[in-house]
Protein backbone atom coordinates (compact mmCIF):
# COMPACT_ATOMS: atom_id res chain seq x y z
CA UNK A 1 0.00 0.00 0.00
CA UNK A 2 2.89 2.29 0.82
CA UNK A 3 4.42 1.64 -2.62
CA UNK A 4 1.12 2.51 -4.33
CA UNK A 5 0.94 5.86 -2.47
CA UNK A 6 4.52 6.71 -3.47
CA UNK A 7 3.83 5.72 -7.08
CA UNK A 8 0.64 7.82 -7.09
CA UNK A 9 2.54 10.81 -5.65
CA UNK A 10 5.26 10.48 -8.32
CA UNK A 11 2.65 10.37 -11.09
CA UNK A 12 0.93 13.53 -9.77
CA UNK A 13 4.22 15.41 -9.40
CA UNK A 14 5.41 14.40 -12.88
CA UNK A 15 2.09 15.34 -14.44
CA UNK A 16 2.19 18.79 -12.78
CA UNK A 17 5.75 19.35 -13.98
CA UNK A 18 4.81 18.43 -17.53
CA UNK A 19 1.84 20.81 -17.50
CA UNK A 20 3.96 23.70 -16.25
CA UNK A 21 6.51 23.13 -19.01
CA UNK A 22 3.77 22.95 -21.62
CA UNK A 23 2.12 26.17 -20.46
CA UNK A 24 5.48 27.98 -20.48
CA UNK A 25 6.12 26.76 -24.01
CA UNK A 26 2.71 28.07 -25.10
CA UNK A 27 3.43 31.44 -23.51
CA UNK A 28 6.80 31.62 -25.25
CA UNK A 29 5.18 30.63 -28.54
CA UNK A 30 2.50 33.34 -28.11
CA UNK A 31 5.18 35.96 -27.41
CA UNK A 32 7.07 34.92 -30.53
CA UNK A 33 3.90 35.18 -32.63
CA UNK A 34 3.04 38.58 -31.13
CA UNK A 35 6.51 39.93 -31.86
CA UNK A 36 6.32 38.67 -35.44
CA UNK A 37 2.90 40.18 -36.08
CA UNK A 38 3.62 43.61 -34.55
CA UNK A 39 2.74 46.36 -37.01
CA UNK A 40 5.49 48.71 -38.05
CA UNK A 41 4.11 52.12 -38.99
CA UNK A 42 5.79 53.67 -42.02
CA UNK A 43 7.65 56.93 -41.54
CA UNK A 44 5.75 59.91 -42.92
CA UNK A 45 7.87 62.72 -44.36
CA UNK A 46 6.88 66.35 -44.29
CA UNK A 47 7.10 69.57 -42.34
CA UNK A 48 5.21 69.29 -39.04
CA UNK A 49 5.46 72.89 -37.78
CA UNK A 50 2.14 74.64 -37.11
CA UNK A 51 1.72 78.03 -38.80
CA UNK A 52 -0.51 80.78 -37.39
CA UNK A 53 -1.41 83.91 -39.33
CA UNK A 54 -3.26 87.07 -38.26
CA UNK A 55 -5.30 88.20 -41.26
CA UNK A 56 -7.28 91.35 -41.97
CA UNK A 57 -9.83 91.05 -44.77
CA UNK A 58 -12.52 93.65 -45.51
CA UNK A 59 -11.70 95.36 -42.19
CA UNK A 60 -12.39 92.16 -40.25
CA UNK A 61 -9.79 90.33 -38.14
CA UNK A 62 -9.24 86.60 -38.68
CA UNK A 63 -6.90 83.97 -37.28
CA UNK A 64 -5.75 81.18 -39.56
CA UNK A 65 -3.88 78.08 -38.40
CA UNK A 66 -2.29 75.44 -40.64
CA UNK A 67 -1.85 72.24 -38.63
CA UNK A 68 -0.06 69.27 -40.21
CA UNK A 69 -0.95 65.73 -39.17
CA UNK A 70 -0.81 62.14 -40.36
CA UNK A 71 -3.84 60.34 -41.76
CA UNK A 72 -4.02 57.37 -39.38
CA UNK A 73 -5.69 55.11 -41.95
CA UNK A 74 -3.42 55.71 -44.95
CA UNK A 75 -0.30 56.87 -43.05
CA UNK A 76 0.00 59.93 -45.29
CA UNK A 77 0.80 63.57 -44.55
CA UNK A 78 -2.15 65.96 -44.46
CA UNK A 79 -2.94 69.42 -43.09
CA UNK A 80 -5.93 71.11 -41.54
CA UNK A 81 -6.50 74.77 -42.38
CA UNK A 82 -8.60 76.44 -39.71
CA UNK A 83 -9.99 79.95 -40.24
CA UNK A 84 -11.68 81.70 -37.31
CA UNK A 85 -13.22 85.14 -36.80
CA UNK A 86 -13.34 86.05 -33.11
CA UNK A 87 -14.93 82.91 -31.60
CA UNK A 88 -16.61 81.67 -34.79
CA UNK A 89 -15.11 78.95 -36.99
CA UNK A 90 -15.38 79.92 -40.66
CA UNK A 91 -13.99 76.61 -41.90
CA UNK A 92 -11.66 73.78 -40.90
CA UNK A 93 -10.56 72.24 -44.19
CA UNK A 94 -8.60 68.99 -44.47
CA UNK A 95 -6.10 69.03 -47.35
CA UNK A 96 -4.24 65.92 -48.51
CA UNK A 97 -2.77 64.59 -51.74
CA UNK A 98 -6.07 62.94 -52.65
CA UNK A 99 -8.14 66.13 -52.33
CA UNK A 100 -5.60 68.08 -54.41
CA UNK A 101 -5.24 65.32 -57.01
CA UNK A 102 -8.96 64.72 -57.40
CA UNK A 103 -9.57 68.46 -57.87
CA UNK A 104 -6.80 68.62 -60.50
CA UNK A 105 -8.30 65.68 -62.41
CA UNK A 106 -11.93 66.85 -62.03
CA UNK A 107 -11.23 70.35 -63.37
CA UNK A 108 -8.64 69.17 -65.94
CA UNK A 109 -5.93 71.46 -64.56
CA UNK A 110 -2.96 71.23 -66.96
CA UNK A 111 -4.55 68.14 -68.53
CA UNK A 112 -1.87 68.06 -71.25
CA UNK A 113 0.88 67.64 -68.61
CA UNK A 114 2.37 64.19 -68.02
CA UNK A 115 1.91 64.67 -64.25
CA UNK A 116 -1.82 65.47 -64.51
CA UNK A 117 -3.15 61.94 -63.95
CA UNK A 118 -0.31 60.86 -61.64
CA UNK A 119 -0.75 63.43 -58.84
CA UNK A 120 -2.68 61.07 -56.53
CA UNK A 121 -0.58 57.97 -57.27
CA UNK A 122 3.02 59.16 -57.79
CA UNK A 123 3.21 62.10 -55.34
CA UNK A 124 2.96 62.75 -51.62
CA UNK A 125 2.10 65.99 -49.85
CA UNK A 126 5.01 67.41 -47.78
CA UNK A 127 4.00 70.95 -46.74
CA UNK A 128 1.37 73.68 -47.08
CA UNK A 129 2.21 77.38 -46.72
CA UNK A 130 -0.06 80.43 -46.86
CA UNK A 131 0.48 82.30 -50.15
CA UNK A 132 -1.86 85.29 -49.90
CA UNK A 133 -5.40 86.62 -50.13
CA UNK A 134 -7.24 87.93 -53.17
CA UNK A 135 -10.85 89.12 -52.98
CA UNK A 136 -12.86 86.23 -51.44
CA UNK A 137 -10.19 83.54 -51.55
CA UNK A 138 -7.19 82.47 -49.50
CA UNK A 139 -4.32 81.06 -51.56
CA UNK A 140 -1.85 78.37 -50.50
CA UNK A 141 1.18 76.68 -51.95
CA UNK A 142 1.58 72.93 -51.38
CA UNK A 143 4.87 71.11 -51.83
CA UNK A 144 4.38 67.63 -53.26
CA UNK A 145 7.20 65.15 -53.60
CA UNK A 146 7.53 62.42 -56.21
CA UNK A 147 7.51 58.84 -54.92
CA UNK A 148 8.90 57.47 -58.19
CA UNK A 149 11.98 59.68 -58.53
CA UNK A 150 10.63 62.27 -60.96
CA UNK A 151 10.52 66.01 -60.32
CA UNK A 152 8.90 67.47 -57.20
CA UNK A 153 6.09 69.96 -57.78
CA UNK A 154 4.36 72.91 -56.11
CA UNK A 155 0.58 73.23 -56.26
CA UNK A 156 -1.22 76.57 -55.96
CA UNK A 157 -4.74 76.21 -54.55
CA UNK A 158 -7.40 78.42 -53.04
CA UNK A 159 -10.14 78.18 -50.40
CA UNK A 160 -13.17 80.47 -50.44
CA UNK A 161 -13.93 82.16 -47.14
CA UNK A 162 -16.65 84.77 -47.67
CA UNK A 163 -19.85 83.61 -49.40
CA UNK A 164 -22.24 81.04 -47.92
CA UNK A 165 -22.33 77.87 -49.95
CA UNK A 166 -18.78 78.57 -51.15
CA UNK A 167 -17.03 78.69 -47.75
CA UNK A 168 -14.14 76.24 -47.63
CA UNK A 169 -14.53 75.30 -51.30
CA UNK A 170 -11.24 74.00 -52.72
CA UNK A 171 -10.01 74.94 -56.18
CA UNK A 172 -6.58 74.17 -57.62
CA UNK A 173 -5.10 76.91 -59.79
CA UNK A 174 -2.12 74.97 -61.13
CA UNK A 175 1.14 73.19 -60.42
CA UNK A 176 4.74 73.84 -61.42
CA UNK A 177 8.34 72.94 -60.59
CA UNK A 178 9.33 76.48 -59.54
CA UNK A 179 6.31 77.56 -57.49
CA UNK A 180 4.87 81.03 -57.15
CA UNK A 181 7.43 82.70 -54.84
CA UNK A 182 6.76 85.41 -52.26
CA UNK A 183 4.50 83.39 -49.97
CA UNK A 184 2.96 85.79 -47.43
CA UNK A 185 3.08 83.09 -44.79
CA UNK A 186 6.88 82.92 -44.97
CA UNK A 187 7.49 86.63 -44.36
CA UNK A 188 9.12 87.17 -40.98
CA UNK A 189 6.77 89.52 -39.11
CA UNK A 190 4.49 89.54 -36.06
CA UNK A 191 1.46 88.44 -38.11
CA UNK A 192 3.08 85.09 -38.91
CA UNK A 193 4.04 82.60 -36.21
CA UNK A 194 5.61 79.16 -36.40
CA UNK A 195 4.90 76.69 -33.61
CA UNK A 196 7.32 73.77 -33.67
CA UNK A 197 5.82 70.43 -32.63
CA UNK A 198 7.92 68.34 -30.20
Please report the pLDDT score of residue 175 as a whole number.
Answer: 87
Reported confidence tier of residue 168, pLDDT bands at 50, 70, 90: very high
pTM recorded for the entire structure = 0.76
Taking the C-alpha atoms of residue 177 and residue 179, their distance in angstroms, rounded to an integer, is 6
Average pLDDT, the chain: 83
User: Is the pLDDT higher at 22 or at 121?
Assistant: 121
- Report the C-alpha gap between 136 and 153 in whole angstroms: 26
pLDDT in tens, 175-195: 888 888 889 999 989 999 998
pLDDT of 91 > 90? The answer is yes
pLDDT at position 99: 94
Please check the confidence at residue 33 and state whether its pLDDT lies above 80: no
Predicted confidence band of residue 76 (pLDDT cuts 50, 70, 90)? very high
pLDDT > 70: percent of the chain: 78
- For residue 21, the model assigns a pLDDT of 47
Closest CA to 78 of 96, 93, 66: 96
CA distance 94 to 71: 10
List beta partners, residue 153.
144
Percentage of the chain modeled with pLDDT above 90:
54
Q: What residues have CB less than 8 Å from 23, skipping those under 6 apart?
A: none
Average pLDDT, stretch 43-70? 95
Tell me what pLDDT residue 1 has.
53
Residues 67, 53: Cα–Cα separation, whole Å: 12
Residue 59: the pLDDT is 93
Residue with more model confidence, 42 or 106: 106
pLDDT mean over 27-54: 70
- H or E, element range at 65: strand 60-71
Amino acid sequence: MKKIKILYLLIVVCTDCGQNNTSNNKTDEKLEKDSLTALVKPEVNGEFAIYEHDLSMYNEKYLMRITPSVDSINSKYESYILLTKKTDTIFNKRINIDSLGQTIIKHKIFADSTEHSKITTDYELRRIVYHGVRTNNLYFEADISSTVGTKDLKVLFQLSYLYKGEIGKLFVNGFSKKGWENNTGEIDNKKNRIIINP
